[in-house]
Amino acid sequence: MKKYIIFSLVTVFSFFTTSCDSVKNANNTQKGAGIGVAAGAIIGGVLGNNLGKGGNTALGAVIGGAVGGAVGGSIGNKMDKQAREIEQALPGAEVNRVEEGIVLVLGENSVNFETNKSILTSAAKANLDKLIPVFESYADTDIVIYGYTDSTGPVDFNQKLSRDRAASVRNYLASKGLSNARFQTKGMGPDDPIASNETVEGRSKNRRVEFTITANEKMIQDTKKEVGN
């Protein structure tokens, strides 16, 4: 499983981790819970906004929505399990565990569309079908679908195309029985490239769909009861 390395979080919270032996010796989930208690959701929101503006939007959204504390640690455990199940269901997917959520990246090898259109290919539908049982098993999550293009062509066209492609993914998942209310869609166009748009390979990588998977309000409230908050 791949993970993002969040340097900004390390910088902001380094004084917590260097001054407390119990945090030094904790596992990742325990560290996340401890940091959440010490720093609170306000700092997480600021970092999320900054990362969303200057870097990966999906990553920033997950960090900004972190709950923290014992509740966040428990939610993180649930997300660990879901991430493993996604990897097993769709081995070609890039699954990143970030704070209390998941950033799922599906490249053209997993989900693609007809050229310059928002129509899912049969291969894309088959791969999305593999994710549906996992999404059904973790119904108490909110999912944002981000569509991305490369930088070829007019920006306005790419913006609309990415928006339509994200909507196509949502509509397909909803047509298979998942609640439409769980999903939001965002068209990012050529923003947040993950590779150079100067090469064929790089442009292919930039044409992708990303998902952020986070706890919905029901999961948060249920988890608070579980941990005694």
| pLDDT per position as a tens digit, 78-130 | 999 999 999 999 998 999 999 999 999 999 999 999 999 999 999 999 999 99
Whole-model pTM: value is 0.78
Contacts from 129-134 at CB under 8 Å and sequence distance 24+?
A: 129/176, 130/89, 130/90, 131/86, 131/89, 131/90, 131/173, 132/173, 132/176, 132/177, 132/178, 133/89, 134/82, 134/85, 134/86, 134/89
On average, the pLDDT of the chain sits at 82
Token look-up 């790089």 returns: 202
Name which residue leads in pLDDT, 13 or 122. 122
In this predicted structure, the answer to whether residue 188 has a pLDDT above a threshold of 50 is yes
